[in-house]
Structure 1
């Protein structure tokens, strides 16, 4: 009921645009801004760039699951849809299909269409709950994967599109290691700040109220369905931005990008990081990218064969979830609460004795 109390407080107080930023956020911001001065191009482009992109897509799932109580396996499909739209309306090596429109038309159009598709998916998914929502979104993801694989007139079939590059805005090559890192960091920070702000705005508080007690929220006059569908639309926008950046990073988009494995990967990223706070999506993304990048090298060094790298990723996932169902954030909260307790009495240090 804490969410409903916060909503009542909004009725008597004017929402603050800016709240006091924790010191840890300032430290993290400074570290990320100066990071290119200390790391290689590979780390900037492949590790951190991929982390920011994967974190954005996982952030869309975190928003739905953490604040809306809706688990969707369709976020990677939405990201891939946005990437396909940029390739189709913009420029690529497949000149027979790509329209060659300028980026300032292709990119916004791709995002608008992604929001429309996300709204349609949400309109279908919110009429179910639990495992049925997961199955509907999984079925949509699978259908989109097979459609892109078999359709050659629009999606160029199995080959997809290559040479899909970001525009050279202001004469800058935005696919360079440093520039692309800052490009992804900008959108990751914008997505993170947007989700954090909305979660504390009236809409976000109402969405959390719908998550906790939909019947009471409906009795108070809130449209449960409208809030859930709007949450899917906003999550689709975040996933679409991540999908466009992913397409620009790899300079291609194909059915493999939107496969079932990729949809499961986003769920794993969100669960590893934790669904209780937006930062969890990026923590999970960083862990996933590190495992994905270096798992093969570790297994080869151990003499186990590089083809079993998914095993190491799966073990890492199981270990984190086993010790903390809430992911890394949950584990961090448990460690903090444990450190605040007196080892002899078990009470929190500094607390009043009763």
Structure 2
């Protein structure tokens, strides 16, 4: 516990000092982008860790929120009706949250692999609809040239503002999850993870809890989707496709599905590999390197990248136990 607390403060100090030490490329394209992916992966990790549910529709929730934001913002595709950006942001978050609630309602009677496949089908339905609808989503090309909001003369997609916004949003959502799981709703959700039939027998409304959990996860994914839109300046069907949905699952597993903070550790590893794998490996085979790292983590670190902290703690305890045994037996 002491090691985890020390690590937490070390991470906080590093994030605070990062704008002073790191170049703009690392701030925006590595750390901030990892925070954005981590937010979407956090929504999946929240459902799995505390509800026992794996959803492949989280990227679709984030993508729909991004489409709603793009549609109500000034963009180069000439689609939609531009609104004041705070109002557009609220609309985008509502769209993603409602989509999450609908997904939870549809999937409320399924579990395990059936839940995963149903949410995957929902996500692919969103992808197909966006790809084939020209009037609303501009079909395959998507909505391009989306202007990021400005506060005075400051653009929110500039390196330092975007870094502060992404990392700050990630931290607030992580705190939100930590608070929610300690509430009666969070405790009931963990009971749902252990046995939904037992929870129903105690008088809880299982379907309502699943819908609420998916709605909260949809809200978190929506935050990530909007930030992703501001980072890229565009949203296209490929952003909600099978590859994007799979990447979110890979990120969550890399970091460790049993720990919400693992979503961000996995996202950082994923972004580093995605950014620099072409320099370390064959340019057209960088996904092979990502897959190899994923396989190694699954085989040797079942708890994800954050499991390394447990491994270090175990090694320290083993060394101390051995030293204590040697001293008690009089071995020099």
- Residue 209 (structure 1) aligned to one of 187, 191, 201: 191
Structure 1 residues 125 and 28, CA gap change in structure 2 (3 angstroms):
same
Structure-2 separation of matches of 1:125 and 1:247: 27
Aligned equivalent of 1:85: 68
**What is aligned with 2:329?**
none
Q: Secondary structure at the match of 1:35?
A: helix
Cα distance, 1:343 vs structure 2: 8.2
Partner secondary structure for residue 158 of structure 1: helix
Cross-structure match for 1:309: 286
Q: 1:233 aligned to 2:210? A: no
CA distance 1:342–1:186, shift in 2 (3 Å): closer
Change (3 A) 1:24 1:338: closer
Counterparts in 2 of 1:115-126, with a 5 A limit? 115-126=97-108
- Return the alpha-carbon distance in structure 1 between the equivalents of residues 206 and 316 of structure 2: 40
Q: Which moved more, 1:216-225 or 1:239-248?
A: 216-225
Cα shift at 1:335: 3.8
CA distance in 1, matches of 2:323, 2:299: 24
Say whether the 8 Å CA contact 1:276–1:329 is kept in structure 2. no
TM-score, structure 2 as length reference: 0.93
CA distance in 2, matches of 1:219, 1:151: 45
**Runs (5+) with no aligned partner, structure 2:** 327-332
Seen in structure 2, the aligned counterparts of structure 1 residues 81 and 347 have a Cα distance that, compared at 3 Å, is farther
The equivalent residue for 1:195 is 177
1:40, 1:345 → 2: CA distance? Answer: 45
For the aligned residue pairs, the C-alpha RMSD in angstroms reads: 2.0
2:19 counterpart residue number: 36
Q: Which runs of 5+ in 1 are unaligned?
A: 1-20, 300-304, 350-354
Of the three residues 186, 190, 199, the one matched with 2:168 is 186
2:296 is aligned to: 319
Counterpart contact for 2:256–2:266, Cα < 8 Å:
yes
1:249 aligned onto 2:215: no
